[in-house]
Amino acid sequence: MTRILRGIYIVWIILRYGLDELVLNSFRQPWLHGVARVISFGRRLDAPRGQRLREALEQLGPIFVKFGQVMSTRRDLLPADIADELARLQDRVPPFDSAIAIATIERAFRRPVDSVFASFEREPVASASIAQVHFATLLDKHGATREVAVKVLRPGMLPVIEKDLGLMRMMAGWVENLSADGKRLKPREVVAEFDKYLHDELDLVREAANAAQLRRNMTGLDLVLIPEMHWDFCHPEVIVMERMHGVPISQTERLRQAGVDLGKLARDGVTIFFTQVFRDGFFHADMHPGNIQVSLDPATFGRYISLDFGIIGTLTEHDKEYLAQNFTAFFRRDYKRVAQLHIESGWVPPETRVDELEAAVRTVCEPYFDRPLKEISLGMVLMRLFQTSRRFHVEIQPQLVLLQKTLLNIEGLGRQLDPELDLWHTAKPFLERWMIEQIGPQKLLDELRDQAPRYAKLLPDLPRLLHDFLQRGAAGSDDRHVKELLAEQKRTNRLLQAIIYGGLGFALGLVVMQLVVRVRLF
């Protein structure tokens, strides 16, 4: 019943804001425009279409707001008036009452707000679907003050999210049971992924931990700044962090006038994304312009400032390696290898013909190479790939849904900063270096170093364990081979030496192999 009532409410909002009329008018057929005029008769739909869409998404709640945030970055797919209105969803959702925010802070810290902060700005500086942010000045234990940003969870979010997720689960069940593509699309698993990430976002301590991990990962890259968390003032409903000073990345004209190289900024964004995905397997998965600023401070001029770490994507080593191989093969236009990887991974049925899949991928991707970003729509590429995936029964991978969403964000951001950006050539050198690192001697040495404590504990006991095992076998059997093995155990030390020397020889071979790979690639 709860799901049915929520469904009725959604339909009512659609009708109230005239979204049905908006959809029908988006088609070219004149008769559909006539239908739109008929169904809108008697309703006051005076507001611009972009404003109506934005207000409807705000009324429907966090999941719909996040959908609007993603779409706001795709100006290649949306009319300018709609994209401009949806951009307001990034950090200008109507705020909740500041008195509620202060009450939440005092309940979390069990102290009056004036005893925690030397000053606290009642007016929020930003407000989004899950939380809003206030600037403040923090008093530390020694009486010193620090500029901070205070993020406060929006009240009543959990029931709304649960209702929408329940509705999505129900519709996912319908798709899986009634659609011919239901099993392949895995709608239940996709909804389960969204469920996990949305519930994680409601715990601000988890967000603070995500920020701390990203800050450590990005140390030394010198391309992005991430605020430091004040752990004494972190609570599931409130977190206090370092205040960052920057210009929103959407204000491109202001950045250009300040002397920021927008082309370099776009290339740095690609580098940051691929570093987080392929090196760390831990990436910021909510990279819309409302969460990104650019520093104009002389010491950090032109660096990104990342904000809002509620949604973080993670990849396993297997996912990272598989994706890197796919990207590398794609950038080299080795479509046969792309097809082979899909079959080897089990994403397509094993009986799929490699040459047919290769030809299909080539047909989709080849027209987009050696063209600037302004002439490419990754959204359209993905749509054509989706059509191809249906033909070849490619299974959707729910664990990669966040990555695909983030890739769309990155492309939309790059398009705003530098339409001439060559996304392929910017990413190719990074991926090739990463692949070399995965097969080079440094990778072997790193793994040996990580396992060294275990090996150090195991090796001294190895001769005794082997001796005991063979002795038990000899006592219970007259097998001549077991007795021979027992005699051979006395030469274990020489065997261990051989293993060590063999390992050194193997490492030397890897060095030579790496040099060969470098020559071939570069």
Task: Report how far residue 488's alpha carbon sits from residue 492's, in angstroms, rounded to the nearest whole number.
Answer: 7
b/e map of 385-401 (b: 16 or more CB within 10 Å)?
beebbeebebbbbbebb
φ/ψ of residue 45, rounded to 5: -120, 55
**Residue of 91, 164, 286, 308 with catalytic role:** 286
Which ranges in 179-300 belong to alpha helices (H)?
182-185, 187-201, 204-218, 252-257, 262-274
Residue 284's nearest CA partner among 273, 270, 269, 293 is 273
Beta-bridge partner residues of 312:
284
User: Is residue 355 annotated as a catalytic residue, yes or no?
Assistant: no
Structure tokens at 7: 């469904």
Task: Report how far residue 205's alpha carbon sits from residue 348's, in angstroms, rounded to the nearest whole number.
Answer: 40
Which ranges in 378-491 belong to alpha helices (H)?
378-391, 401-417, 423-439, 441-458, 462-475, 480-488
Which residues make Cβ contacts (< 8 Å) with residue 481, sequence separation at least 6? Answer: none
Task: Report how far residue 365's alpha carbon sits from residue 418's, in angstroms, rounded to the nearest whole number.
Answer: 22
Give the Å distances, CA to CA, from 49 to 53, 128, 140, 208: 6, 21, 49, 37
Neighbours of 440 (CB within 10 A): 18
Task: Report how far residue 330's alpha carbon sits from residue 365's, in angstroms, rounded to the nearest whole number.
Answer: 9
Which residues make Cβ contacts (< 8 Å) with residue 235, sequence separation at least 6? Answer: 108, 109, 204, 205
Task: Report how far residue 27's alpha carbon sits from residue 34's, in angstroms, rounded to the nearest whole number.
Answer: 11
* Strands (DSSP E) found in 104-155: 117-120, 126-127, 131-139, 145-153
Task: Report how far residue 158's alpha carbon sits from residue 139's, in angstroms, rounded to the nearest whole number.
Answer: 32
Active site members: 286
